[in-house]
Amino acid sequence: MTTYLLAGGGTAGHVNPLLAVADRIRDREPDATVLVLGTSEGLEARLVPERGYELLTIERLPFPRRLGRSAFSFPRRFRAAVAQTRRYIEERKVDVVVGFGGYASAPAYRAAHLSGTPLALHEANAKPGFANRLGARYTRFIGVAFRETKLPRATWVGMPLRREIEQLDRHAARTEAYSFFGLDASKRVLLVTGGSTGARSINTAVYDGIANILGAGWQVLHIAGAASTLADLGQADYHLLRYCDRMDLAIAVSDLAIARSGSATVSEFAAVGLPAVFVPYPVGNGEQRFNAKDAVNAGGAILLADADLTPAWIASDLVPLLRNPAAISRLAARIVTVGTRDGADRMVDLLKRALA
C-alpha cells in the first residue's frame, strides 16, 4: 500500500488540482493512503477535510519580498517547517511527495530532498511560482499545465480538472442549464466572470455596456462575485449572480465568455471548447497574461488588457463578434485544440514514474 503526501494550498489555483489528483489516486488505487500537507489558514483547511482527506499542517510561510522582521526570521521558520515535514514523512512512512505550489510546497520539496523521498510536482501557471522553481531543482518529474511553461525537464500534462468539468457533456447539460439559470434556450449566452471574488473592472465595463450586448440578440450570465454591489437591471436577458456553485452548468450553457485568465479558468474553457475574451488581472507577476498565451496563439481566444475593456470596446469590437456566429464557432474549434480532459491521469502517471 502506497502513502502519498500531496503538498500545496493557499488559493483555489493550488488546492483544486491537488484535490483532482488526490481523487484520481483514490479512484485508481483504493487502498492507498493520501495525506495532504497545507496550512491551517488557506483554502485547504476547509476543502481538504470536506473531501475526506487528512490535512497535516505547517506554518504559513510567504516568501518575504522586502527586508524587515519577517525576512530576518524567515530562514529559521523555514527550517522549522522543513523539519516538521520530515517528521510527517518519517512517521507516516510517506512513499512519494507531490507538490502543487503554494506556501506548503517549498518546505515539502526540501524535506523530500533531505529525506531521499521521491518527488514530483505540478505547476498550474504558465509563469512558475517561487516554490516550484525551487522544487524543480530536486526532481525531473515535473508536470506543467501550459506548454509554454519554462521549467527544466518539464513534461506537459495539462491541468488536473475537477470531475464535473472533466466529464462535462456541454450539449447534454444545456437543457438543465437553461432551466437552472432561467435562460432563454433560443438565444446565445455570454458568460461574464471574474472568479469567486469578482473583478471590478470587468463587472463595470459589462454593466455599463449591457445595452449593446443585449441589442446584439444575446443574453448575459453575469457572475459578479461575492464582493459585488451591482444591482439587477430587471432586464429579461440579463442574469446577475453574486456567486455560482454550478460553474459546470454555466460553462455548458455559454457560447462565449469574458473572464480573467487564471490557470483553472483557461484550462477548463480549453478542455470543453468554450472560447473567451481573456482579461488578465493587471496586478501581480503577470502570470495571467502568460496563461492565456496558448489559447490566443491557437486562435481560440482574444487577449484584452484590463484598461482596454470599456463600454466603447464592447460597442466597437465585441458587438461585431457577437453578430458573427461563424467567427465564434472558429474560436471554439481552435481553443479546444490546446485543452485536455485527462490532466489528472497524466499527472498520476508522472508521479508513478517518480515513485518507480
Is the same domain home to 283 and 346? Answer: no
For 187-199, what is the mean pLDDT?
86
pLDDT digits (tens, 9 = 90+) for 320-335: 999 999 999 999 999 9
Q: What is the pLDDT of residue 304?
A: 97
Is the same domain home to 142 and 209? Answer: no
For 21-44, what is the mean pLDDT?
93
Mean pLDDT taken over the chain: 93
Is the same domain home to 135 and 170? Answer: no
pLDDT at 197 over 80: no
pLDDT digits (tens, 9 = 90+) for 279-295: 999 887 778 999 999 99
pLDDT digits (tens, 9 = 90+) for 9-23: 877 778 999 999 999
Reported confidence tier of residue 174, pLDDT bands at 50, 70, 90: very high
Is the same domain home to 178 and 97? Answer: no
User: What is the arrangement of strands in the sheet containing 238-241, beginning at the earlier edge strand?
Assistant: 238-241, 219-223, 189-193, 256-259, 276-278, 301-303
Is the same domain home to 114 and 141? Answer: yes
Q: Is 171 exposed, middle or buried (0-12, 13-18, 19+ CB in 10 A)?
A: exposed
pLDDT at 72 over 70: no
pLDDT at 43 over 90: no
Which range has the worst mean pLDDT, 74-78, 131-135, 213-217, 308-312? 74-78
Q: What is the pLDDT of residue 12?
A: 74
Which range has the worst mean pLDDT, 185-189, 239-243, 246-250, 269-273? 239-243
Q: Is 98 exposed, middle or buried (0-12, 13-18, 19+ CB in 10 A)?
A: buried
Domain of 321, CATH number, reads 3.40.50.2000
Q: Cβ of 106: how many Cβ atoms within 10 Å? A: 25
DSSP string, 42-77: STHHHHHHHTT-EEEE----PPPSSSSHHHHHHHHH
Reported confidence tier of residue 200, pLDDT bands at 50, 70, 90: confident
Position 332, amino acid: A
Q: What is the pLDDT of residue 289?
A: 93
- Per the structure, the count of domains in the chain is 2
Q: Is 58 exposed, middle or buried (0-12, 13-18, 19+ CB in 10 A)?
A: buried
For 296-316, what is the mean pLDDT?
97
Reported confidence tier of residue 168, pLDDT bands at 50, 70, 90: very high
Q: What is the pLDDT of residue 64?
A: 61
Domain that holds residue 350: 3-160+341-355
Is the same domain home to 121 and 84? Answer: yes
Is the same domain home to 156 and 11? Answer: yes
Residue 60 phi, psi (nearest 5): -70, 120
Is the same domain home to 250 and 284? Answer: yes
61 or 217, greater pLDDT: 217
pLDDT at 63 over 70: no
pLDDT at 302 over 70: yes
Query: How far is residue 202's CA from residue 307's CA, in Å, rounded to a whole number?
Result: 10
Which range has the worst mean pLDDT, 230-239, 281-290, 342-351? 281-290
C-alpha cell belonging to residue 185: 434556450
- Under 8 Å between Cβ of 147 and 159: no
DSSP H or E segment with residue 259: strand 256-259
Is the same domain home to 302 and 197? Answer: yes
Is the same domain home to 322 and 273? Answer: yes
Is the same domain home to 130 and 222? Answer: no
